[in-house]
Structure 1
Amino acid sequence: FWPFFYTQFCGAFNDNVFKNAIGILIAYKAYSIGGISPEQMVSLSGGIFILPFFLFSAIAGQMADKYSKPRLIRFVKALEIAIMIVGMIGFIHENLPLLLVALFLMGLHSTLFGPVKYSILPHLLQSDELITGNAYVETGTFIAILLGSILGVQLISMQGGAMITGTAVIVIAVIGFLVSLSIKHITPVIPELKINLNPITTTIEIMGITRKVDSIFNSILGISWFWFIGIALLSIIPVYCKDFLHARESVVTLFLVLFSVGIGVGSILCERLSFKRTELGLVPVGSFGLSLFTFDLFLAGQPMALSTGELMTVAAFLATPYGKRIACDVFLLSVSGGFFTVPLYTFIQQRSQKEIRSRVIAGNNISNAFFMVVSSVFLAALYHYKFSYPQIFLVLSILNIIVAVYIYTLIPEFLLRFMAWSLTNIVYRLKVTGRENLPFEGPFVIACNHVTFIDGLVIASGCPRPARFVMHYKYFDMPFISRIFKDSKVIPIAGANEDPEVMNAAFDKIAAELENGEVVCIFPEGKLTHDGTM
C-alpha cells in the first residue's frame, strides 16, 4: 500500500505545483491569450486540465482492467517526466500556449492514473481496511494539493521563478517514477479484454456499466457534484483574494492550506467515526456542511481593505472584522467535503464487481470531468453576468441543497444510515462488540431477539453492510412510515394463517436477496421479547 500511496502523493503534488504556478502567472502577471480576462483565463485553464478526463477516462478504465496495474502506473509516471520537460520549456520562455499544452497533457496523465488509483486499493487492502485506506489516500491527496499549491505559488514568485519551477516539476516527476518501482506485482484482471480506442463509443459503454446498479451510479453523481463545487471554489480563490479581499498571494496560500488540511481532517474524522466500515450516514453530514459554510461565505461580506490601498498580508487580513470568519468557513466546508467523499469512494469500491471495477471508476472519472468542465463554464458565465463573489457563493450553496435533496430522494439509504448512525452514536452511544465476526462479503442471516421497536436501527448501525429486515406486514403497511420501510427494502411477512400469499412472497424475496449476496435480518420471536433472551 505505502509505495502506491507515495506514488500517488507525488503525482498530486506535482499537478498542483504546475497548475498553481500557471494560475499565479495568469492572476498576478496578467498572462492571457486573445484578450481573455484573468478571471476567465483562470477558469479556462482549469477546464483545459479537466478536459482529458472527459475524453479519455473510458480508454484508461479499459487499460486498468486489461494490464497489470503496477506496470501501468510506472508507464504513466514515465510519461509525466516527458510532460514536465515540455512544461519547463514553457516556463523558461514564458510561453502560455505551451504551458497550456503541458497542462492538458498533465490532465491526460491524471486521466490514465485515475482508474488505477482507486481500483488498486481492494487488491492491496482487506475489506475492513478499505475505509482507512481511502481516508489515507484522500488525506494524502489533499496534503499533496496543499504542499504543491504552496510550493507552486512560492517558486513562481521568486526571482528566476520560471527556471526554478520548471526544474522542480521534473525532479518531482522522477521521484514519483522511482517510488512506483516498489509497488508489488498484481495480476491483470481481464488480460483478454479488447481495448476500444473510440472515445465516444467507449464512453457510452462504460457509462452504461455504471448505470447497472442505481446506488453506484447515484454515488458517482454525488462525488461528481462535490467536484463541481470544489473546482468552482478552487478556481475562485486566486482572483477572490486579489480582487475582492484585496489580499496578497500569501492569503491565497492560506486558503489553500485551510482547504487541503480541512479535507484531510474530514477524511480522518470520517474514518474514525465509521469504525472501519463504509458509513453512508456521514454523507448527509458532509452535504449539510458544504451548504452551510458556503452560505456563510456569502453572509460574511467583504473585510475592510487597508486604507493605503495595498494588498493585505495574512496578518492584516485576519485582523479585519470578517477575516477569521471567512478562514473558518473555508476550513469547515472542506472538512465537510471529507465527510462527503470518503464513504462514497469506498462504497463504489465495495459494491462494484472486481472484473469491472476499474471501468466503473473510469465512469466515475468521466462523470467527475463532465461536472468539472460544466463548473468551469458555469463559473465563467457567472463572471460574464457580473455576479459578485458573495453571490457566487450563494448560488453554489443553494444548488448544493437542491442536489442533496435530489440524491437522497433517489437513495434513501443515505438518510436512513444517518438516522441509524445518529441514534446509536449520539443519542445512545452504542458500543458494539464482535463486529469483526460479520463477513464483509457474501450472504448471511442475522437472527436476533426483539427488544424495542428501534432494533432495526441498532442492527443497521452495528452491521458493516446494509441489511434487509423482515417485518410483520401490519407494521410494514402503517400509514406515513410505510414509504420509509419500502425505501429501506424491508421485506413484509405474514403468518401462514394470516396471509399465505404474503408469507410465500417473503420467503421468495429472502431467498433472492441471499442469492444476490445480501444480508438478511430476522426476528424469530415475531414480537417484542418478554424476557430479553434469544
Structure 2
Amino acid sequence: MQHTPNTATSTKPEEVSQFKLLGQRRFAPFFWTQFAGAANDNLFKFAFTVLVTYQLSISWLPPEMAGLVIGAIFILPYLLFSATAGQLADKHPHRLIIRQLKLLEIAIMAIAALAFFFNTVSVLLACIFLMGLQSTLFGPVKYAYLPQQLHPAELTGGNGMIEMGTFVAIVLGSLLGGVLIDMGEWGRMFVATGCLLLAALGYWSSAAIPAAPATDPKLHINLNPFSETWKNLQLAAENVVVFRSVLGISWMWFVGSVLMSQFPVIAKDVLHGNTQVASLLLTVFAIGIGIGSLLCEVLSRKQVEIGLVPVGAIGMSIFLVDLYFATRNLNDPGQLLSIAQFIGVAANWRVMADLLLLCLFTGLYSVPMYALIQMRSQPTHRARIIAANNILNALFMIASAILTGLLLQWGLSLPQIFLALAITNAIVAAYIFLLVPEYLLRFVAWVLTHVIYRFKIQGREHIPEHGPAILACNHVSFVDAVLLMAASPRPIYFIMDYRIFKNPVLGFIFRMAKAIPIAPQRENPKAFDAAFEKAAQALRNGDLVGIFPEGGITRDGQLQRFRRGIQKIVADARAEGIDTPIVPMALSNLWGSFFSRIEVRNGQNVAMVKPFRRGMFSPVGLHIAPLMSSETSPEVLQQIVQGLLDQAEQGH
C-alpha cells in the first residue's frame, strides 16, 4: 500500500493541541480559507433568500418556495459533480486546486454583484448554482488535505476545528447577510461588497497554504458522473468501517438538515418567536456543534476515537426526545415574541438547552467519523471516497427535505417529527454499530478508560501507524485487551485464552473484536495451530496482533515467565517474508482492581467479586517501549516489560 508522506512527522503529537494548530502554517491559512468560503456561501444564500421573500415580487418564484428552490439549486452540483471533484483532488496538487477555486469564487461574486445591482434574479440563481459547484469541487480537497498535513494524533483536533469553524461561519454569514440586505436601498450593494470582500479574503489566505502534492497524478479523469459515482461508492465500500462511517455521516446530515431547514418554522409556529428568535436558534445550533467538535480532542486523548460515536448517537436521541416534550405544549402568547420576550419565558430555556446539547452530541458523533475516513482510506483515492460521502450527504439531505414535507402534510407536528427522528436515530445507530462492532468495542473501551479507570498512556507514539506489528503485554486482568484497544487507533487482533470466551459478557466483547482463541497444544492441537494461522493471516494483512506472552492472567500480581508462542508467530511471519517488529508494553497499577484475580475463594484466585473495590476513576497506566526487532527473545522481552513496570512503580 502506498502512503503519502506526512509533513507533520517532525512534530510530537502530544505537544500540538487543536488551538495551537491555528498558529501553524500547515493549518491556519487553510482554516481561514475554509472559514471565509463557508461564510460567503451563507451570506450570499441568506441575503438572496430574504431579497426574494420580502423585497421583490417574482411571479415564477413565490416567497414560500424561495428558500427551498435556492437550497435545492445550491446542492444540485453535489449530486452532479462530486465524482469529478474527487478525481480532480486526487490527480492535482491540493494547493493549486484551492487557489484556482478561490479565483473562481471571486469571478462568481463579481457576476452576482452586477445581478444584485440590476435585480436579475435568474442570474443570481445561476450564481447560486456556480457557488454550489465551487463548494462541490472544494469539498474533497478539504478533507484530503488534512491527513497530508496533520499527524494522525492531530486529525481529531484538526477536524474538530474545521467543523467548529464551518458552523460558526454559517451562522455569521447568515446573520450578516440578513443585516446587510435589510439596510434599505443600498442593502443589495452592501451584500455584493461583502461577498466580494470575503472571496478576496479567502484568496489572500489561500496564498499561504503550503504545497500539498497530488496523491494519484496518473489518474485518468472519467467525465461520466454516473459511472464515476458508482466507482467511488465501490471504492468506499471496499473498507466496511469506512463505508459505514460514510453512511453514519450522511445520516447526521439527514438529522441536521431537518433542524436547519425548519428553524424559521420552529421559531414562528412552535416557539411563537419572530425572525430574531430563528437567528437565535441558528446561533445556539452552531455553538453546540462547535463545542462538541472541540471536545472531541479532549475526550479522545488526541487520537481518532470512534468510541465517541455511540456516545454522540445516544446523546442525540436523548435530547431529541426531550426536545419533543419541551415543545409539544408551549403556550401561544397571541403574538410573535422578540428575543428579549422569548428568553424571558422559562420553558424556552429548556428548549435552547436541548438544542445546544443535541448539537454538542452531534459534534461528538460526526468528527471522529470524518477523522476515521481520512485515516483509514488509502491516500491514492482518499478524495474520491470523500466525494462519495458528499454525494450520499446530498441524497440524504434531499430525502430529509422530502420526507419532512410529507410528514407535515400528513398532519404530524414538528415536535412529533423530533420524536420520530429520535426513534429512527436510535435504530440507525444500532444498525451501524452492530454491522461494525468496532464502534461498540471502542465505546466499551472509552467508558472503561474514562469512568472505571483513570487511564494514562506513555509512549503511544511507538504503536506503528501502518503495517504489521506484534504488541506484547503483561497479563493482569480480564480487561487488559480492552485497555490496549483504547490505546491504539488501529484495530488489534488478540490471541487470548479460550476460557475467557466462556464468560458471557467478556466472551461477547472479544468475539466482536475477532479475538483469536487459543488452547494449550497438549489439550487441543488443532485449536493451537488454528490460532497461530489466524495470527499469521492478520500480519499478512498488515494488521496489529496482540499477545500476552505469560499465557495467562497473573494470580499474584507479579510478571510471569514469557512463553515461546511469540517466537512461533514471528517465525511463521518471517517464513512468508514479513518482518514483524515487536512492541513491548506494560500495564501498571491494575492488580487489585475489580477485574484482577486478587480475591481468594475456596482456594482459587477469582476476579469480579467486589464491584468498585477501588472506587471510580482508579489510576491505571500503560507504558509502551520503542519497537524491538523480531529476533528479540522472550527472555529479553520479559526483561524490557519488567523494566517498564519498575519505572512505573518508581514514578508512582
Bigger Cα Rg: 2
Question: 1:74/1:32 Cα in 2 relative to 1: closer, same or farther (>3 Å)?
Answer: same
- Secondary structure, in 3 states, of the residue corresponding to 1:470? strand
Tell me, which stretches of 5 or more residues in structure 1 are unaligned?
A: none
- Find the partner of 2:251 among 222, 225, 233: 225
Residue 338 (structure 1) shift: 0.9
Aligned residue in 2 for 1:256: 282
Matched residue SS, 2:457: coil
Match of 2:293 among 248, 255, 267: 267
Shift of 1:168: 0.9
Match of 1:148 in 2: 173
User: Partner residue of 1:323?
Assistant: 348
Cα deviations by residue, 1:308-357 (Å, 9 ceiling, x for unpaired): x2x32111111124211111111111111110111101111111111111
Q: How does the TM-score come out when normalised to structure 1?
A: 0.94
Name which of 164, 179, 202 aligns with 2:228.
202
Which of 142, 156, 161 is equivalent to 1:136? 161
Q: Per the alignment, do residues 157 and 243 of structure 1 end up closer, same or farther by CA in structure 2, a change over 3 Å counting? A: farther
Matched, 1:244 2:257: no
Rounded to whole Å, the distance in 2 between the matches of 1:263 and 1:6 is: 18
| Contact 2:37 2:202 survives alignment (8 Å) | yes
Q: Does 1:91 align with 2:126?
A: no
- CA distance in 2: counterparts of 1:195 and 1:229, whole angstroms: 34
Q: Which residue identity is paired with 1:6?
A: W
Q: How many residues align?
A: 531
Q: C-alpha displacement at 1:484, in angstroms?
A: 3.3
Which residue in 1 is equivalent to 2:20? Answer: none
1:120 aligned counterpart, secondary structure: helix
What residue number does 1:108 align with?
133
Residue in structure 2 matching 1:436, options 461, 474, 481: 461
Partner of 1:213: 239
Q: 1:60: which partner in 2?
A: 85
SS in 2 for 1:517: coil
Unaligned runs of 5+ in 2: 1-26, 560-641, 643-652
Counterpart residue number, 1:175: 201
Is 243-252 or 75-84 further displaced after alignment? 243-252
Instruction: Decide which moves more: 502-511 or 72-81.
Output: 502-511
Structure 1 stretch displaced more, 16-25 or 488-497? 16-25
1:284: which partner in 2?
310
In the TM superposition, what is the alpha-carbon distance from 1:132 to its structure 2 partner?
A: 1.6
Let me know the Cα RMSD of the aligned residues: 2.0
Alignment of structure 1 residues 351-390 onto 2, 5 Å = 351-390=376-415
- Rounded to whole Å, the distance in 2 between the matches of 1:291 and 1:417 is 20
Q: 2:448 aligns with which of 423, 441, 466?
A: 423
- For the residues of structure 2 that align with 1:85 and 1:151, how far apart are their CA atoms? 19
Residue 472 of structure 1 deviates from its aligned partner by 1.8
Output the amino acid matched with 2:139. G
**Residue matched to 1:503:** 528
Aligned partners of 1:495 and 1:178: how far apart in 2?
Answer: 66
Query: Is the Cα contact below 8 Å between 1:47 and 1:372 reproduced in 2?
Result: no
- Paired letter, 1:178: W
CA contact (8 A) 1:146 1:261 kept: no
Aligned residue runs from structure 1 range 185-196, under 5 A: 185-196=211-222
Given candidates 484, 490, 511, the residue that maps to 1:486 is: 511
Contact 1:24-1:238 within 8 A present in 2 as well: no
Q: Which of 359, 377, 380 lines up with 1:334 in the alignment?
A: 359
Q: How far is the alpha carbon of 1:385 from its aligned partner?
A: 2.7
CA contact (8 A) 1:281 1:420 kept: yes
In structure 2, relative to structure 1, the CA distance for the partners of 1:24 and 1:35 (3 Å cut) is: closer
Given that residues 153 and 253 in structure 1 are in contact (C-alpha distance below 8 angstroms), is that contact kept between their aligned partners in structure 2? no
Letter matched to residue 328 of structure 1: A
CA contact (8 A) 1:449 1:532 kept: no
Aligned with residue 488 of structure 2, among 463, 476, 485: 463
Counterpart CA distance in 1 for 2:58 and 2:156 is 43
Does structure 1 retain, via aligned residues, the 8 Å contact 2:519–2:527? yes
Q: Does the aligned pair in 2 maintain the 1:139–1:263 contact within 8 Å?
A: yes
Q: Which residue of 2 is the match for residue 10 of structure 1?
A: 36
Which residue number corresponds to residue 543 of structure 2? 518
Selected match of 2:72 from 20, 37, 47:
47
Distance 1:414 1:139 in 2: 23
1:123-154 CA-partner distances (Å, limit 9, x unpaired):
11122221221111111112211211221222
Identify the range of structure 1 (113-122 vs 126-135) with the bigger mean alpha-carbon deviation.
Answer: 126-135
Instruction: For 1:162 and 1:242, locate their aligned partners in 2 and report how far apart those are by CA, in whole Å.
Output: 26
Deviation (angstroms), 1:43? 3.4
Change over 3 Å in CA distance of 1:77–1:465 after alignment to 2: same
Measure the CA separation in 1 of the matches of 2:126 and 2:268: 26
Higher relative contact order (CA 8 A, sep 6+): 1
Q: TM-score, normalised by structure 2?
A: 0.78
Output the CA distance in 1 between the equivalents of 2:322 and 2:52: 28
- Does the 8 A contact of 2:53 with 2:62 survive in 1? no
- Aligned mates of 2:454, 2:102 — CA distance in 1: 47
Partner of 2:595: none
Q: Judging changes above 3 Å, is the alpha-carbon distance between structure 1 residues 23 and 336 closer, same or farther for their aligned structure 2 residues?
A: farther
Rounded to whole Å, the distance in 2 between the matches of 1:173 and 1:121 is 22
